[in-house]
Every structure is written in C-alpha cells, then in structure tokens.
C-alpha cells in the first residue's frame, strides 16, 4: 500500500497539476489586489478600515507578497503594518496557507513570530489561497555588511555571538512545546514510535519528483532507495519548522534580538532531527577563519550540546545523518525538478530564479553523492 501524503499537502500538489499546461503566470495588478484585499477584509472585520500603501514585496523564492498598512480608527491598534502572503500560481515548494496559519498561531507565545490575523484557504477572495500576518521589524541579514565568507548562507559577522544562543533556544522551545492542545487540524498527527512521519514525507517528495522531473537522475534514484530502506522511527513527535536556517528569521541590528522566526509553510509534525540536520546543512553554513558555522551561527558540536541541554532531548548521530540525506533529497527535488519545470511552464513570478536554483540543487547532489559513497563503503565493510 502506498504511504499517505498528508491531505492538505496532497491537495496543494493536486492544485498544481490541475493548473499545469492550462495557465501561465501574469503579473498581478496592484489595484486588483487592493480590491480583493478590501473584499476579504470586509468579510473578516466589516466596515471601518482603510488599506494604505499597498506595495509588492521583493525577496523570497516562493510566496507572492504585498505589504500594506491597515488603518482602523476605532480599533485599539489604529495602524498595523501587515503582509499579504499569497500562494503564487505555482511554487518551488507547494504548501498550504491554512497549515502555515495554524502553525504560526500554535507557536505564538512560545517563539517570536509574526501575528497571524486571517487566512483564506480557498480561491474565493484572491484567486488562490492567502494569509495575512503582521509585518515584523528587523532585518534578515546585516545591512552593515560582514562580507561573503566561503559558503552560501547569510553571514552575521559581529551579530553572531548574540544571535546564536537565541537561534538554538528557539529551536529547543519549538521541539519541546506541547502542541497537542493547539488547533493544527490541517496537519495529520503521526504515531510516536513509528516511521509514519518519515513515510509521509518520503511519499510526498517521491510524488513531487515523479511529477516534476524532466529526466531521471542517478543520485535521486539511489537516495530514494536508501531513504526507504533506512527509515528511522520517531521517538518524540515535535512540531518541526521545516526551513530553519539563516535568512529565515529577522533580528534587530541594534540589540541583536531575534524579532521573528519566518517561513513556517514547510512545518509539520515529525522528528526534531529534521530541523537539526537542516540547520546543519553545508549549503547554508559559512566557513569563517577556518571555522565552520552551521547556519552561519554556531559550530556543530556546540549546537548539539546546547540544544540537548536546553531541550532535554537527545541528538542521535545516526538519525542526524538520515535526516541530512532526507533534507538534501527534498532540496534537490525542489531545486532541480520543480524549479525548472515551473520556469518551463511559465508558472511563477520568478522564472529567471527558477532556472538558477538548480545550482543549489546540484551543489547538494555533490554532497549527497559523498554520503552515499560512505554508506556503500560502510555496507561493503559489513
């Protein structure tokens, strides 16, 4: 029997396939977005508001985003800066706005996150799913430079020392929080002590590859077989961020306080090692002065030691290795299959970028080949 794909994620993939070959992306007219936004907000809060300074937001590789001020003269907070996050026609990673909305709300109060106000999970108001959250202050990377170290990720320079402990503390808090009393109805809860969460994740990414890849790839074929063969059980079900790395949080450059953890759309219930391995991926770290910093922030051993101390959860090297492979597997699929496929079909606002992202995917292919070689040698040694 084929493994389950979580229904909300399967629906997002179904939507992509239904659109494929039938429509191409056309730029949104800001006046149309304003009209849609007004209609949606009226349905949520009635009259007595005004949308001001609506503008497209640059940056990011998936969502189509607009920033605006919501003015409500009779509300406690008269002026709130907000972001409208809309699923593009198709995205390099198909996700679900309702999941994202529920996860942000679930972690509010535990971690610094944007305030999630409203979600439209259908095409009714915007022609596609969308959510509205607060625009949080802070920067994703230092404006005062810091240079480009060897490596691919954001370099934090003088800010690293204060940011690193917060980065680890927030991850530990996420993985130990009690999510069972939260509304996470869009997510399926895996059984503890089973490989449910892994099975669903593999089934999901296998489907994405099968639907999006233009040609076969040996590393994907080998990694897929290895991943199914070596599925670990999940000993403790955590809420997993799914994209916990440098560049996906905001901080105040003056105080070095993390002001918001962003990009929750890949979140799910599963194994903490998924986030840990992802945060340690070589593609996102930086090599500075001969020292390698995971996510540009912390050395690997110090990361594990502090995370273990704060969370009380163990970090198993074997599972860390498994989830390193799984993270590379999905990153390669998104970058090398989905990205160029979307560009070929003219289905995003980021066609040029979608042809560039395979560069990251093939970087991971090279890394993954090295791991697969070690595994083959390990097997050969018995």
- Tell how strand 268-270 and strand 79-86 pair up: unpaired
Q: Which residues contact 225 (CB under 8 A, 6 or more apart)?
A: none
Tell whether residue 302 is a contact of other proteins (CB under 8 A). Answer: no
Closest CA to 286 of 157, 151, 147: 151
Secondary structure (3-state) at 111: strand
Tell whether residue 210 is a contact of other proteins (CB under 8 A). Answer: no
Closest CA to 331 of 209, 155, 191: 209
Candidates 131, 172, 198, 360; binder of other proteins (CB under 8 A) is 360
Tell whether residue 215 is a contact of other proteins (CB under 8 A). Answer: yes
Candidates 137, 193, 218, 312; binder of other proteins (CB under 8 A) is 218
Q: How many residues bind other proteins (CB under 8 A)?
A: 35
Stretch that binds other proteins, among 29-37, 68-76, 308-316, 355-363 (CB under 8 A): 355-363
Question: Judged by CB, which is closer to other proteins: 215, or 381?
Answer: 215
User: Do the Cβ atoms of 52 and 71 come closer than 8 Å?
Assistant: yes
- Distance CA(340)–CA(350), nearest Å, equals 11
- Phi, psi dihedrals of residue 26, rounded to the nearest 5°: -125, 140
User: Do the Cβ atoms of 193 and 235 come closer than 8 Å?
Assistant: yes
Question: Judged by CB, which is closer to other proteins: 242, or 358?
Answer: 358
Question: Judged by CB, which is closer to other proteins: 46, or 59?
Answer: 59
Q: In 142-244, which ranges are E strands?
A: 150-151, 238-240
Q: How many residues does the chain have?
A: 382
- Distance CA(251)–CA(308), nearest Å, equals 24
Tell whether residue 118 is a contact of other proteins (CB under 8 A). Answer: no
Tell whether residue 135 is a contact of other proteins (CB under 8 A). Answer: no
Site string for other proteins, 271-300 (x = CB under 8 A): ------------x---x-------------
Tell whether residue 193 is a contact of other proteins (CB under 8 A). Answer: no
Tell whether residue 152 is a contact of other proteins (CB under 8 A). Answer: yes
Site string for other proteins, 62-101 (x = CB under 8 A): ----------------------------------------
- Distance CA(147)–CA(141), nearest Å, equals 11
Tell whether residue 150 is a contact of other proteins (CB under 8 A). Answer: yes
Quickly tell me which residue has 């944007």 as its tokens: 114
Tell whether residue 362 is a contact of other proteins (CB under 8 A). Answer: yes
Question: Judged by CB, which is closer to other proteins: 93, or 184?
Answer: 93
Tell whether residue 146 is a contact of other proteins (CB under 8 A). Answer: no
Question: Judged by CB, which is closer to other proteins: 284, or 307?
Answer: 284
State the CB neighbour count (10 A cutoff) for residue 79. 12
Secondary structure (3-state) at 252: coil
Binding site for other proteins (CB under 8 A): 55-59, 150, 152, 214-219, 221-222, 225, 283, 287, 352-353, 355-356, 358-360, 362-363, 365-367, 369, 372-373, 376, 379
């Amino acid at each position: 029997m084929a493994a389950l794909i979580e229904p909300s994620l399967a629906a997002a993939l179904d939507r992509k396939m239904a659109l494929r070959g039938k429509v191409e992306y056309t730029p949104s007219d800001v006046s149309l977005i304003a009209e849609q936004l007004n209609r949606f907000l009226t349905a949520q809060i009635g009259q007595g508001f005004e949308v001001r300074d609506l503008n497209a937001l640059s940056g990011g590789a998936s969502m189509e985003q607009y920033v605006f001020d919501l003015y409500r003269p009779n509300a406690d907070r008269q002026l709130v800066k907000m972001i409208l996050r809309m699923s593009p026609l198709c995205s390099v990673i198909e996700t679900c706005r309702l999941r994202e909305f529920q996860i942000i709300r679930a972690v509010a109060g535990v971690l610094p996150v944007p305030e999630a106000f409203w979600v439209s999970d259908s095409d009714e108001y915007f022609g596609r799913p969308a959510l509205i959250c607060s625009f949080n202050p802070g920067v994703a990377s230092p404006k005062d430079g810091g240079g480009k170290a060897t490596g691919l990720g954001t370099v934090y320079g003088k800010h690293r020392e204060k940011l690193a402990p917060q980065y680890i503390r927030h991850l530990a808090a996420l993985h130990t929080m009690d999510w069972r009393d939260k509304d996470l109805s869009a997510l399926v809860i895996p059984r503890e002590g089973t490989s449910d969460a892994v099975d669903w994740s593999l089934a999901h990414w296998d489907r994405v590859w099968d639907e999006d890849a233009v040609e076969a790839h040996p590393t994907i074929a080998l990694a897929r077989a290895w991943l199914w063969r070596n599925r670990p059980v999940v000993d403790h079900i955590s809420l997993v961020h799914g994209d916990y790395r440098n560049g996906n949080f905001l901080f105040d450059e003056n105080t070095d306080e993390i002001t918001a953890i962003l990009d929750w759309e890949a979140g799910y219930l599963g194994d903490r090692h998924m986030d840990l391995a992802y945060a340690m991926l070589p593609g996102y770290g930086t090599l500075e002065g001969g020292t390698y910093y995971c996510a540009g922030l912390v050395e690997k051993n110090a990361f594990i030691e502090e995370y273990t101390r704060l969370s009380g959860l163990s970090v198993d090297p074997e599972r860390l290795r498994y989830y390193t492979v799984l993270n590379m597997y999905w990153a390669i699929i998104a970058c090398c299959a989905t990205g160029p496929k979307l560009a070929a079909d003219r289905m995003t606002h980021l066609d040029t970028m979608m042809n560039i992202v395979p560069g990251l995917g093939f970087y991971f292919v090279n890394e993954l080949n090295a791991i697969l070689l070690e595994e083959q040698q390990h097997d050969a040694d018995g």
